[in-house]
Structure 1
Amino acid sequence: MFGMRSAAVAVLGLAGYSYAGLIRMGCSQLNVQRIDPLVTPGQAPSPHMHQLIGGNSLNVTMDHATHDLPSLSTCTTCQAAEDFSNYWTAVLYFKARNGTYHRVSQLAPLGFEGQNAGMTVYYMTGQLADLNQTNKATAFKPGFRMFVGDINARTLEEALPYRQLTYTCLEEMSTRWPETKYLPTNPCKAGIMSNIRFPTCWDGVNLDSPNHMDHVSYPESGTFESQGPCPSTHPVHLPQLMYEVIWDTKPFNDPADWPEDGSQPFVWSFSDTTGYGTHGDYVFGWKGDALQQIIDEPCYVNCQTMKTQSIDQMNACTLKPQVVEDIDGWVKEIPGQNVGV
């Protein structure tokens, strides 16, 4: 119902088959800090903690008309050497029985062992079996940005409009099913993966909107994977952008450390213990028409038109945080959150 099982299985288990229109790349962590240049530009610190990846021109304020990521960045943490976009999500915390919190770090994805935390980023043009790429996609334009999710959602009903924001409880690193809309309620042997899938239809005019969502839309019916049509208000078919973030919850799997009432102990940096408020941010920054060339190529992961860099080069791209806080030790409260959860 919620997921993209066929795509995930294909990525990890069917690499010998032929597919079209899929980019899968690892992106190391750029930094972890309380800034959000999309939702709260200019505010430092921002209300809650984020983990950020991509080009090193990231700043507290990134005006879409003047902040040209490809020209201002000198490096990127992503495998695609011409991708200076910025991608970010909130940060997951563990709450101990004594009421203190510890940030949960991220694990490198399969195929990118050695990557410094971060996430996996996908761009997909349509069904993986669409070898003729009949469902053509238009690459994002310079200055494009978007947000998906509802930070205030705490029920399934509130989260349902964001139909493809899910979690996978990993039995092993290759686990991709089942997916849930809520945070897993039992210890996960290999960690928790959060899956962020963005809308795939654009109005064709606006690079952004006041809530960073109205200029994009999910398909009118069906899903992106079933090639559902875009609504007339948002007729331009975009590639599906997806994040996979693997949270290393293994160090916190001892039931003796979990709440005595049996509830799950993980909480997002914006004080959500349900998981329904998960969300993602994106600021486009590919160089020239590099992304369009790649998505026009009938390729599966290994696209010849995509210039790549090594994991060492990805890891070497870092950015000193503009907001300095304790992000690794035990803390009495989650930074920016003034009440216990």
Structure 2
Amino acid sequence: MQLQLQHAVAGLALLVPNVVALLRFSCSQLVTERLDPLVNPGVTGSPHLHQVIGGNAFRPLMDLKSLDIPSAATCTTCTFADDFSNYWTAVLYFQARNGTFKRVPQKPNAGFESAKGGMTVYYTPVISGTGKVTAFKPGFRMIVGNPNNRNANNVPRQLTFTCLKDIYTRTGETKEFPKQPCPAGIMVNVRFPTCWDGVTLDPPDHASHVAYPSSGTFESNGPCPATHPVKIPQLFYEVIWDTTAFNNKAEWPADGSQPFVWSFGDKSGYGNHGDYVFGWKGDALQKAMDTNCYINCPQLKTQSIQQGNQCSVKDTVGEQIDGWLTELPGGMPVDK
């Protein structure tokens, strides 16, 4: 297991050469359905399908003022047992030559072989190893990326795809979907901003309260802008889509273009985005950031991946999302 973990974080070491601390852990699938309590609060049946991990307080309406997430949740799919946060992304589909769609399954990351779908989550404090990083506060939420974007120039460098030659591949990231079959699947990488205005927990756009460094990068320990002076952990998702069943190019579009489409109808990949609702219990995350834990954290309560696999919520939308579909869930149109 330790060798697997060393391989798995090798790519992060390439991106962050001076990293001295990080949390890296597995969260199994909680639910896959059309809910989005940030963009479409209170709506049962949001426009497009999401895959969600984390605590079972996830619901159509997660009111900032009245919902205490760690108290409302009774279980989490994450291996750190005090993490009742929710993390979600869109869902990947394969579109066949006849126009029908099939959901692409997810598979565990290296070191987390028994996880049920889901994703790998990282929290990384200040790269230099010195200086204060402020953990997210109760009520904090954020979104990175824009599902409506179809312009490569508007994609942050922190949102990428990796065509996996094997489970340990961590090079060759692109802003768009890979154009060739990937031997071990496609990994989607979502890195959130690392600077906060220090006041706002969740603005109407769920994004303007956070920012990337004003110069340089998080990896080079770039400074935060004056408008967002508080350094927060870099939250990072890795989601591995097992595209191997769809690697026969004879089944790809006749024009040779790539066949994958996000559940919001994007075939370019430029709409890659992620959502986050903070839900750690007490000061657990701050404690982990202050102690500079590396991958595992003895200061935090843990549970097995098998225990996390048992946590779930009821699918409140109740629609067919698997098998061959004539349209994407919710009737979402696909880009021409």
- What TM-score, normalized to structure 1? 0.93
Could you tell me which of 169, 173, 193 is aligned with 1:175?
169
User: What 5-or-longer segments of structure 2 have no aligned partner?
Assistant: 1-6
Shift of 1:340: 4.5
| Aligned counterparts of 1:231 and 1:330: Cα–Cα separation in 2 | 48
Q: What is the match of residue 131 of structure 2?
A: 135
The CA distance in 1 between the partners of 2:232 and 2:121, in whole Å, is 15
Q: Could you tell me which amino acid in structure 1 is paired with residue 132 of structure 2? A: K
Offset at residue 298 of structure 1 (A): 2.6
Q: Conserved in 2, the CA contact under 8 Å of 1:271 and 1:337?
A: no
1:198-213 to 2 correspondences below 5 Å: 198-213=192-207
Residue 35 (structure 2) pairs with residue 35 (structure 1): yes
Q: Choose which of 281, 303, 311 in structure 2 pairs with 1:309.
A: 303
Render the CA deviation track for 1:59-108: whole Å, top value 9, x for unaligned: 00001111111000000000110000000000000000111001111101
Q: For residue 249 of structure 2, what is the aligned residue in structure 1? A: 255
Mapping for residues 269-308 of structure 1, pairs under 5 Å: 269-308=263-302
Corresponding position of 1:9: 10
Post-superposition shift, 1:338?
A: 4.5
Q: Which residue of 2 aligns with 1:216?
A: 210
Return closer, same or farther for 1:340/1:157 CA change in 2, 3 Å cut-off: closer
CA distance in 2: counterparts of 1:168 and 1:157, whole angstroms: 18
Counterpart residue type for residue 282 of structure 2: G
Describe the SS at the equivalent of 2:289: helix
Q: Describe the SS at the equivalent of 2:26.
A: strand
CA distance 1:299–1:93, shift in 2 (3 Å): same
Aligned counterparts, 1:1-341, within 5 A: 8-9=9-10, 20-127=20-127, 130=128, 133-159=129-155, 162-341=156-335
Partner SS, residue 210 of structure 1:
coil
CA distance in 2, matches of 1:7, 1:205: 35
Cα distance in 1 for residues equivalent to 2:163 and 2:131: 32
Cα distance in 2 between the residues matched to 1:12 and 1:227? 14
Taking only aligned residues, the RMSD between alpha carbons, in angstroms, comes to: 1.8
Please state whether the residue corresponding to 1:241 is helix, strand or coil.
strand
Q: What's the CA shift for 1:336?
A: 1.9
3-state secondary structure, aligned to 2:330: coil
Unaligned runs of 5+ residues in structure 1 are 1-5
Counterpart residue type for residue 115 of structure 2: Q
Structure 2 partner of 1:3: none
Q: Distance in 2 between matches of 1:332 and 1:10?
A: 38
Q: Does the aligned pair in 2 maintain the 1:270–1:337 contact within 8 Å?
A: no
Contact 2:115 2:305 in 1 (8 A): yes
d(CA) in 2 for partners of 1:188, 1:340? 22
Q: Percent identity?
A: 60
User: In 2, distance between residues paired with 1:338 and 1:153?
Assistant: 15
**In 1, Cα distance between the equivalents of 2:45 and 2:72?**
23
Q: 1:30 to 1:333 in 2, by over 3 A?
A: same
- TM-score, length-scaled by structure 2: 0.94
Which amino acid is the alignment partner of residue 141 of structure 2? Answer: R
1:111 maps to a residue whose letter is G
> Quick one: structure 1 residues 18 and 154, their matched pair in 2 at CA, closer, same or farther if it must change by over 3 Å?
closer
